[in-house]
Amino acid sequence: MKIRFKLFAGLTELLPPNRKSNVVELDVDDGTTIQQMIDVYRIPPRNAHLVLLNGLYIAPEARASSPLSDGDELAIWPPVAGG
Amino acid sequence: MGWNRKVLRVNLTAGTCKDEPLNMEWANDYLGSRGLATKYLVEEIDPKVDPLSPDNKMIMSTGPLTGTMASTGGRYTVVTKGPLTGAIACSNSGGFFGAEMKFAGWDMIIFEGRSPKPVYLFVENDKAELRDASHLWGKTCWETEETIKHDHHDPQIRISSIGRAGENQVLFACVVNDLHRAAGRSGVGAVMGSKNLKAVALRGTKGVSGINDFAEFMKVTTEKKKVLADNAVTGQGLPTYGTQVLMNVINEMGALPTRNHRDVAFEDASKISAEAMHEKRETDGKAQLITNAACFGCTIACGRISAIDKTHFTVVNSPKYWGASGGLEYEAAWALGAANGVGDIEALQYANLLCNEDGMDPISFGATVGAVMELYEMRVLTKEQIGVEAPFGSAAALARFTEMTARGEGFGKEIGLGSKRLCEKYGHPELSMSVKGQEFPAYDARGIQGMGLTYATSNRGACHLRSYTVASEVLGIPVKTDPLVTEGKPELVKAFQDATAVFDAAGICVFTSFAWTLADVQPQIDAACEGDWSMEKLNEVGERIWTMERQFNLAAGFTRKDDDLPARLKTEAAKVGPAKGLVSGIDKMIPEYYEVRGWTPEGVPTEETLARLGL
């Protein structure tokens, strides 16, 4: 299945070289979870801070049990803030 | 004592400068800066006064931590009745001006009356005098700072001034200090302009003395700086990416107001984001962002210093804009960009430069341009009327509107009225995305429900800095709450409002609250100030400040109906994203909020509430 994977701020460089801006389109296996994506792309646990699946926040404890679906958009930020 | 105990009262009509003791009884109840200056204002002016008349007053005030070793202790506040809203106006700025006021030996400066001719106030420690500003009138804030420093042969002077926007009484004109920091919102610069006061120039060499328990103060401020340094947000996220990092976050959530709030996501958000500021440009191989920057005493350093692309159409023939300067910050980038559908980051930086140079609030300006572009697309406004083709997304129109408004030219005079008056004039008041006449900042009330309540109840009109529930609803600070629901938001908003009032009154930056709670601020205030400053007392001070501001607004003529959002946010559902199909639940939250506050169903504090707060 295809997903759009987005890493922002200091995580951007963890994306593959074929990234466009902060996004890559990926083929991933059915049943892949958010936590598996975090692990495969070697995102340090404390930097997988703000995780949005299709814009909705996914809490840390739910990431290992949250499988991705075809067409999903997964976006991750380290600790950031603004205002 | 964290205060100098000395107030400078400047009567511009008479041309006099007199010192008087700070009212320490009020300081004990309202702490300083926003709280204490507002207390002075509400005691001294008629709430129904015309904001641009000589009878209005304008107060520049520090807090007890301003100028001290407390991290971010460089803030000062401009308090007055705001011309954009008719409500209490309280605009807060960093930079170095606030600390310099403290170093010169003053806690606050009260301006009253109107000078018969342009003047500026020059303060050198205890000496204060009004000087002729005829040669400064018509100059920008940047030219004014440079000229005053040159005239006094002193590059160390710190200056707050108005540009041409303030002189022309653009209703969202701000007061700019240190070139690119500003008391930005509610039109405080227009009040300064109405008084023929061009600038305030300060030189203080006294330092800060009289900290109540100096050893304890040094110990606790050092500990709290470590808290900021060790926190991932204040120690790394903000200094590296600044506030602009929110552009993609809020867009991904479907809560980025776009094209005058017609949409909730912007297809070009990534092009105007913090990440884009770090990217090297194709034209010159350089990133727009040069470095970060800090205000006085700040150990976070979120500020952005950038350089515009010299080949960009806005500046290719204007070398004076090629150097490093402030911006872009998130709110400005949103208002100048997404709110208008403009995805050209260099055009945004140009507009931002002009806002800094001539003293305009980029939030209200940008949001007003969004309303103009919608009116243009509806053919209510034409090119012949406004001087330029202005569809959503036009960087050229944005640039031209900025020049026209800053300089008071043509249709720029109408933009300078703000969106409420402009939209009313052209028969579409519903297109003004504002509360109490002040334009929204960068969070959509359909996708972040708590911010809708924040806007509707903000005492200075729509504003994010009165209760930044984004911290909780989006970023999980201090705890994560669901942005799509209304449940619990009245309590959350009240808690943020009251705590923020204390941060503001202390003279520190509200960005510390990403790492500090009020429990981290309390021991710093307690060590700096004489008397008992317990958590219980500070919580009461925060609520007292908020309620005092509310009382002023009620006396000025505001009612329950003014605590509301534009119909668009209550009837036009979000089209995409997690909030798809949702509108703001403001009508449900308001009655609950009043109850939580101890106010009547009409939004009036009860006698019991007033008595509890000593009001």
* B348-357 pLDDT tens trace: 999 999 999 9
Domain that holds residue A28: 2-7+18-76
C-alpha closest to that of B294 among B180, B210, B190: B180
Which pLDDT score is estimated for B171? 98
Whole-angstrom distance, CA of residue B198 vs CA of residue B600: 43
Mean pLDDT of B473-485: 96
> Between A21, A50, A73, which is nearest B249 by CB?
A50
* B372-397 pLDDT tens trace: 999 999 999 999 999 999 999 999 99
Beta-bridge mates of residue A3: A26
**Pairwise CB contact (< 8 Å): B477 & A78:** no
Q: Is the dihedral angle over the CA atoms A52, A53, A54, A56 positive or is it negative? A: negative
Is it the case that residue B602 has pLDDT exceeding 70? yes
Q: Distance (Å) from the C-alpha of residue B392 to the closest C-alpha of chain A?
A: 24
Range list of β-strands (E), B133-192: 158-161, 175-177, 181-183
Mean pLDDT of B21-45: 98
Q: Where are the domains positioned within chain B?
A: 6-203, 243-430, 449-612
Which pLDDT score is estimated for B218? 97
Q: Which of B256, B267, B275, B281 to mutate to test the interface with A (most CBs of A within 10 A)?
A: B275
C-alpha closest to that of B77 among B52, B53, B54, B101: B101
> Between A12, A22, A80, which is nearest B237 by CB?
A80
Give the pLDDT band of residue B210 (cuts 50, 70, 90).
confident
Q: Are B80 and B191 in contact (CB under 8 A)?
A: yes
Q: What is the pTM of this model?
A: 0.98
Ranges of H-type helices in A1-83: 34-40
| CATH number for region B243-430 | 1.10.569.10
Whole-angstrom distance, CA of residue B166 vs CA of residue B182: 12
Q: Distance (Å) from the C-alpha of residue A21 to the closest C-alpha of chain B?
A: 8
> Between B233, B254, B270, which is nearest A21 by CB?
B270
Q: Is the ipTM of this complex over 0.95?
A: yes
A chain contacts of residue B237, beta-carbon cutoff 8 Å: 9, 78-81
Residues 6+ apart with CB under 8 A from B272: B247, B328, B333, B337, B338, B342, B343, B344, B345, B348
Instruction: Look at A17-21, B469-473, B557-561 and tell me which has the smallest mean pLDDT.
Output: A17-21
What's chain B's average pLDDT? Answer: 97
Mean pLDDT of B296-311: 97
Tokens of B214: 């100096």
Residue A54 sits in a domain of what CATH number?
A: 3.10.20.30
Whole-angstrom distance, CA of residue B346 vs CA of residue B258: 19
Q: Are B59 and B108 in contact (CB under 8 A)?
A: yes
**Pairwise CB contact (< 8 Å): B252 & A52:** yes
Chain A residue whose CA is closest to B246? A82
Mean pLDDT of A52-76: 97
Is it the case that residue B342 has pLDDT exceeding 90? yes
Peptide bond just before B328 cis, omega within 30 deg? yes
* B249-279 pLDDT tens trace: 999 999 999 999 999 999 999 999 999 999 9
Residues 6+ apart with CB under 8 A from B577: A55, B253, B254, B255, B264, B265, B447
Whole-angstrom distance, CA of residue A6 vs CA of residue A76: 6
**Pairwise CB contact (< 8 Å): A78 & B470:** no
Which pLDDT score is estimated for A83? 84
A13 in a domain, yes or no?
no
Whole-angstrom distance, CA of residue B212 vs CA of residue B353: 41
Q: Distance (Å) from the C-alpha of residue A29 to the closest C-alpha of chain B?
A: 24
**Pairwise CB contact (< 8 Å): B254 & A9:** no
> Between B241, B248, B464, which is nearest A83 by CB?
B464
| CATH number for region B6-203 | 3.60.9.10
Tokens of A61: 């404890």
Is it the case that residue B1 has pLDDT exceeding 70? no
Query: Tokens 């466009």 appear where?
Result: A20
- What DSSP string describes B341-391? T---HHHHHHHHHHHHHHTB-HHHHHHHHHHHHHHHHTTSS-HHHHSS---
Q: Are B269 and B236 in contact (CB under 8 A)?
A: no
Which pLDDT score is estimated for B2? 85
| CATH number for region B449-612 | 1.10.599.10
Whole-angstrom distance, CA of residue B89 vs CA of residue B186: 6
Which pLDDT score is estimated for A22? 94
Is it the case that residue B566 has pLDDT exceeding 70? yes
**Pairwise CB contact (< 8 Å): A55 & B578:** yes
**Pairwise CB contact (< 8 Å): A83 & B253:** no
